[in-house]
Structure 1
Amino acid sequence: MENSPLVSVCMPAYNADKYIAEAVQSVLSQSYTNWELIIVNDGSTDDTATVLGQFTDPRIRIYEQQNSGQCAAANRAFSFSKGRFIKFMDADDMISPGYIAGQVKRIDNRDDVIASAAWGRFYNDDTSTFKLNDDLIRHDSKPIDWLVSSMDGKQVMMQCAIWLIPRAVLEESGLWDERLSLINDFEFIIRVLLYAREIRFAENSILYYRSGLPNSLSSLKSQKGAQSAYDSINWGTSQMLAFEQSNRVRKVCAACFQNFVYSFYPYHKALVNLAESKVKELGGSTAPFLSGGYTRLLQSVIGWKNVKKLKFLLSGGPK
């Protein structure tokens, strides 16, 4: 089926019983029909398995494993896949009905082209709050150009479901790095994109990205999470610099480390110090400390580090 190649949607799932039915239904609702959905239940302790049991479409295959992390579950899902094109998708997001069809059309039977998509956020599990991101790269581009444009003056969005990736590219780039947990997609997507020849934008393919899930603070306090975030940024930016050693790449890489400092200060001093050293090594960064409301006002008076220290103390300090 040259004009409608098999697309494999690989979905790791962990304690996703509140959301996964909507994610699966969004795949079932695709206008493109030649797909398979491979779900790896990563040792969920909630009712994820029960929810999944309601789906009987033969294109859906479900596998169980002991809890091993998102990367391991995604890699296992891929190992069971048969498609020429691969989409990794989180268990709490949704895709528009024409999503896969639009991306397959844009790839146009190429094995060296990755399709991107439009995306937006919705909050508090309420899709009526959805707003399409108005800062999208809508033109086709070389991967390194896409990465620089996406990182210049903003925090890049690497969410895995944005992409439709030829299997041939993944066989060259390698899969998810199972050492990583927090922001594991940063390193993975950079590595994968740089093995492609071109990124093509699918205008009418829209990802509905669920935001506001209550896990960010615990991640900031976790040494494992902080180490993963640092390693992912370090390894991802190293790949960009190896691909193109230029002022524009050094600038956006420095900003990635600066944003790490903003996020993790003052929780993990050693890693923050390493990140600050990277910023200096790359020529410094003018990336701003993003804040609003009272935080912005307070920052203008006492500086961002004192604001972060104050929030750190108010949260109860180290646990």
Structure 2
Amino acid sequence: MRTLVSILIPAFNAERYIGETLASALNQTWEKKEIIVVDDGSSDETLRIAKTFERANLKVISQENKGASAARNVALSVAQGDLIQWLDADDLLAPDKLAHQVTLYRNCIGGRVLISGAFGTFHVNPQRARFRPHSLWQDLAPAEFLFRICTENIWMNPAVWLVSRGIAEAAGPWDERLTLDDDGEYFSRVVASSEMIRFCPEAKAYYRQHHTGSLSRDVSQRGCESLLLSLQLRIRQLRKLEDSERTRRACVHLLQTWLDYFYPEKKDLLRQVYGLAGELGGTLTVPPLSWKYVPVRAMFGWPAAKKARRLVSNAKLSARVRIDGWLRPSVRSWRW
């Protein structure tokens, strides 16, 4: 019997992109698939557009706005697949992505094997996506995978994964308390619930960077509380797999990487971060600041310098998106 793959898509105000995302899911050459879209209370035309794609193997669910993690949990609760493909409502899959990964999965004998793949970043035109390999693009043991994330500050787009039902059940649901770094926390559990990660270089996903995304730096109290909780949970997962001097150093490095979110204005949370680093046997240093923003910090303080950096980063990204839009072919129905 052929393996059923569930493609799960949470969507919120994604009217500009949901059509292309659903087309990339429907165009998968792996025929035995179901697609579940959960509209999380969108205020635009996302739900209407998604419903125009409904058919026997594509279901659209609507709920009041509860957040991305809640929408993903709803999709997972109704999924029937043996394998789970997560896909954000603005990202894309190469047509043969699932076919390559399912084949690799079925060739793996025994154990909880987790399948990863390659991803490229694009703004408007996926034909110009940039694929930048890094040290996670290979077969790895779970502890080594999480260790490298901590020490190298690298990331895997959620769409790269093909997750077996057994691993998904062992990992548990998405944590609905989290609004920031929810994917980092969830996939740390997924990785920790596996026995081996197999990398499939032919399986390609496309990550659309069309807005500020992580560059927006959600520095609200709620966002920073979510980030701290996520970091605590991610550190717990790595230490469950391997509690050694090298993994504790890696966890301190992870805290240092994200310290900028808390420093210096989130004093209560900052004390917790410093305390956690101390428990791990390490210390944290003042986050680095490019020379360009040192005068702003000197005159107006750290918060103003961080805001200036965000504005410049966002302006650069907006310019790249506009340029890519101008260069995009006039025919929208591109193919890989």
1:81 matched to 2:79? The reply is yes
Distance 2:9 2:286 in 1: 35
Q: What's the CA shift for 1:41?
A: 0.6
Distance 2:287 2:214 in 1: 17
Which residue pairs with 2:160 in the alignment? 162
1:311 matched to 2:311? The reply is no
Which residue pairs with 1:195 in the alignment? 193
Q: Structure 2 vs 1, CA of residues 287 and 207 (structure 1 numbering), >3 Å: closer, same or farther? A: farther
Normalization by structure 2: what TM-score? 0.83
Q: Structure 2 vs 1, CA of residues 68 and 215 (structure 1 numbering), >3 Å: closer, same or farther? A: same
In the TM superposition, structure 1's runs of 4+ consecutive aligned residues that sit over 4 Å from their partners are: 215-219, 285-291, 296-299, 301-304, 312-316
Which residue pairs with 1:130 in the alignment? 129
Distance 1:166 1:111 in 2: 11
Is the partner of 1:117 in helix, strand or coil?
strand
1:144 matched to 2:143? The reply is yes
Q: What's the CA shift for 1:196?
A: 0.9
Distance 2:158 2:285 in 1: 25
CA offsets 1:277-314 (integer angstroms, 9 cap, x no match): 222332336899577xxx34556x9999x984442475
CA offsets 1:78-101 (integer angstroms, 9 cap, x no match): 111101111121111111111111
Distance 2:211 2:296 in 1: 30
Alignment of 1:17-28 (within 5 A): 17-28=15-26
Which residue pairs with 1:237 in the alignment? 235
Which residue pairs with 1:36 in the alignment? 34
Residue ranges of structure 1 left out of the alignment (5+ in a row): none
Q: What's the CA shift for 1:201?
A: 0.3
Q: Aligned-residue CA RMSD in angstroms?
A: 2.7
Match 1:58 to one of 56, 59, 73: 56
1:181 matched to 2:179? The reply is yes
Residue ranges of structure 2 left out of the alignment (5+ in a row): 311-336
Q: What's the CA shift for 1:248?
A: 2.0
Native 8 Å contact 2:38 2:75 kept in 1: yes
Native 8 Å contact 2:296 2:305 kept in 1: no
1:277 matched to 2:275? The reply is yes
Q: Structure 2 vs 1, CA of residues 247 and 74 (structure 1 numbering), >3 Å: closer, same or farther? A: same
Q: What's the CA shift for 1:38?
A: 0.5
Q: Which amino acid aligns with 1:149?
A: R
Native 8 Å contact 2:252 2:280 kept in 1: yes
Distance 1:27 1:315 in 2: 37
Q: Which amino acid aligns with 1:311?
A: A
Q: Which amino acid aligns with 1:270?
A: D
Is the partner of 2:126 in helix, strand or coil?
strand
Q: Structure 2 vs 1, CA of residues 24 and 267 (structure 1 numbering), >3 Å: closer, same or farther? A: farther
More off after superposition, 259-268 vs 7-16 = 259-268
Which residue pairs with 2:326 in the alignment? none
Which residue pairs with 2:118 in the alignment? 118
Q: What's the CA shift for 1:166?
A: 0.7
Distance 1:137 1:314 in 2: 32
Q: What's the CA shift for 1:187?
A: 1.4
Q: Which has the higher helix share?
A: 2
CA offsets 1:227-251 (integer angstroms, 9 cap, x no match): 1111011111112112211122112
Is the partner of 2:129 in helix, strand or coil?
strand
Native 8 Å contact 1:122 1:130 kept in 2: yes
Distance 1:216 1:91 in 2: 17
Distance 1:177 1:76 in 2: 12
Which residue pairs with 2:328 in the alignment? none
Distance 2:309 2:142 in 1: 40
Q: Which amino acid aligns with 1:147?
A: L
Distance 1:279 1:175 in 2: 28
Distance 1:24 1:45 in 2: 19
Q: Which amino acid aligns with 2:119?
A: W
Taking only the aligned residue pairs, the percentage that are identical comes to 32
Q: Structure 2 vs 1, CA of residues 49 and 111 (structure 1 numbering), >3 Å: closer, same or farther? A: farther
Native 8 Å contact 2:111 2:195 kept in 1: no
Which residue pairs with 1:259 in the alignment? 257
Q: Structure 2 vs 1, CA of residues 136 and 95 (structure 1 numbering), >3 Å: closer, same or farther? A: farther
Q: Structure 2 vs 1, CA of residues 288 and 222 (structure 1 numbering), >3 Å: closer, same or farther? A: closer
Native 8 Å contact 1:139 1:200 kept in 2: yes
Q: Structure 2 vs 1, CA of residues 13 and 245 (structure 1 numbering), >3 Å: closer, same or farther? A: same
Distance 2:278 2:135 in 1: 29
Q: Structure 2 vs 1, CA of residues 96 and 217 (structure 1 numbering), >3 Å: closer, same or farther? A: closer
Distance 1:233 1:281 in 2: 14
Normalization by structure 1: what TM-score? 0.87
